[in-house]
Amino acid sequence: MVSGARAVERCDRLGLPPYSDSADGLYRAYLTPAYAASQQLVARWMAQAGMAVRIDAAGNLIGRYEGTGDGPPLIVGSHLDSVRDAGRYDGPLGIMLGIECVAALHDAGERLRFPIEIYAFGDEEGSRFPLAMLTSRAVAGTLDAQLTEPADADGVTLFQAMAAYGEAVGAAVPRDFDAYRQARHPGAFAYLEAHIEQGPVLEADGLALGTVTGIAAQRRFGIKVGGRAGHAGTTAMTLRRDALAAAAAMILTAEQEALAAGGDRVATVGTVTAGPGAANVVPGSAMFTLDVRAARDADCAALADVIVDRFGHIAAVRGVTLSVDALHSLPASPCDPQLMTLMDGALAAEGLPVRRLVSGAGHDAMILSALCPTAMLFIRCREGISHNPAESVLPEDADLAARTMLRFIKSLEDIHRA
Ligand code: HGY
Ligand code: MN
Ligand code: MN
């Protein structure tokens, strides 16, 4: 029997030290001690569910449950890392629900015609290094060929962090991207990800679950504004090249352009820093990130272009320099029509209404779609709140999700060609 309550309890347990790098709110970053400790606990749960457990070259944790055939596996997964001051369910709930499904098969002594692999991806959020979806891109084989090694805010590079992590878990780890790319998966026949909706639609419709139709496109930029530092008391307003004031004008412009674009188009500035960072110094430098999303690639590109163009005008008028670094561009990713129909069927078989909806949030599924057809199941979360400690999910909704997932997984036997 699956247990949604146990899946939720396990997410709650992972929400506290030593499974969080911070005692003040949940933060679990890729390759940190909290990440390593969390993997060891999840690995125990995977083993209890009858899985063989391993860590791949990108530091992902993988549990494998053999089938009667040895063809390409079904991958079920989500991410173990979190944003800063995170909720407990964004990522881990999808992993725990996957473990529940395998545990139910194992307890019943049941094997399907295909193996099942549960992936706990290590870096979906990009909350430590300035690259997101790093570990699922390694699995999908879509890491950029000329990727330069990123460093975190403390200057720790990816492979320095990997070396410390390898030491902590006693695993051989890659020292460069060639070795890191060994995480590439040889081939899967489908990917399933269950995830909280992180939006208000299901709750507004009074529904526990929904079939995801696709994931919105997203473009992310690092913006640097260069002005001239000066004395706050003696630099006349008309002579200033205030980098932070210019950045503020740009940030408000991004909001105005997204509001004007309307529909599902959104733009967010989530991080801002200014230098030198003193109350009595006119800021000479400012840096911020810009995240632009839309259901359609063309709409996302158009909004990003108009915002960056407006930034250029603001920089010219204010006499500051502007540099725009494209951090990533993830195309919109439709879910597989045949798998969506099977998911609708599993919902109906559970006696639930069938509801389809698009995802504004990004997920590892948008990366795995380069490897195999993908399906996603959304779970209602209170007021759609996410990326926030107030994130909340009902155990009974998690139970419905696990039951629906198990039905969906079993229905794959009808379409699986060994
Ligand atoms: O940014 C996102 O949409 C996801 O939470 N990483
Ligand atoms: Mn997520
Ligand atoms: Mn997230």
> Which pLDDT value is given to residue 46?
98
List, as ranges, residues with CB under 5 A of the ion ligand 2. Answer: 90-91
pLDDT at position 390, please? 97
Query: Cα separation of 402 and 213, whole Å?
Result: 19
- Tell whether residue 64 is among the known ligand binding residues: no
Check whether residue 131 and residue 235 sit in a common domain.
no
Same domain flag for 22 and 126: yes
Annotation-wise, does 60 bind a ligand?
no
Grouping H, G, I as helix, E, B as strand and the rest as coil, residue 116 is strand
Based on the fold, state whether residues 344 and 320 are members of the same structural domain: no
Mean confidence (pLDDT) of the chain = 97
Q: Tell which residue, 345, 359, 257, has the closest CA to residue 302.
A: 257
Going from the Cα of 134 to the center of ligand 3, the distance in angstroms, rounded, reads 14
Q: Which atom of ligand 1 is nearest to the CA of 79?
A: 6
Residue where a domain terminates, one of 302, 330, 358 = 330
Residue 216: pLDDT over 90: yes
Share of the chain above pLDDT 70, in %: 100
Per-residue confidence band for 146, with pLDDT thresholds at 50, 70 and 90: confident
Determine the average pLDDT of the residues in 71-83: 97
From 82, 363, 391, the mutation candidate for ligand 1 (largest count of ligand atoms within 8 A of CB) is 363
Q: Which atom of ligand 1 is nearest to the CA of 124?
A: 6
- pLDDT score of 417: 66
Same domain for 76 and 196? yes
Strands 333-334 and 285-294: unpaired
Compute the distance from residue 321 Cα to the ligand 3 centre, in Å.
32
Asked if the model's pLDDT at residue 418 lies above 90, the reply is: no
Range in 143-152, 231-240, 306-315, 380-389 with the lowest mean pLDDT:
143-152
Same domain, 231 and 361: no
Residues 43 and 179 in one domain: yes
Q: By the 8 A CB rule, do 417 and 232 touch? A: no
Mean pLDDT of 233-260: 98
pLDDT attached to residue 204:
97
pLDDT tens digits, 9-36: 999 999 999 999 999 999 999 999 999 9
- Please indicate if the annotation marks 388 as binding a ligand: no
The tens digit of pLDDT for each residue in 45-66 reads 999 999 999 999 999 999 999 9
Do 169 and 233 lie in a common domain?
Answer: no
Q: Are residues 179 and 68 in the same domain?
A: yes
* Residue 366 near residue 333, CB atoms below 8 Å: yes
Give me the domain span that covers residue 265.
219-330
User: Minimal CA–CA distance to 336: which of 388, 374, 280, 379?
Assistant: 374
Specify whether the CB–CB gap between 88 and 96 falls below 8 A: no
What is the arithmetic mean of pLDDT over 271-292? 98
Same domain, 208 and 343: yes
Q: Cα of 125 to ligand 1 centre, how many Å?
A: 6
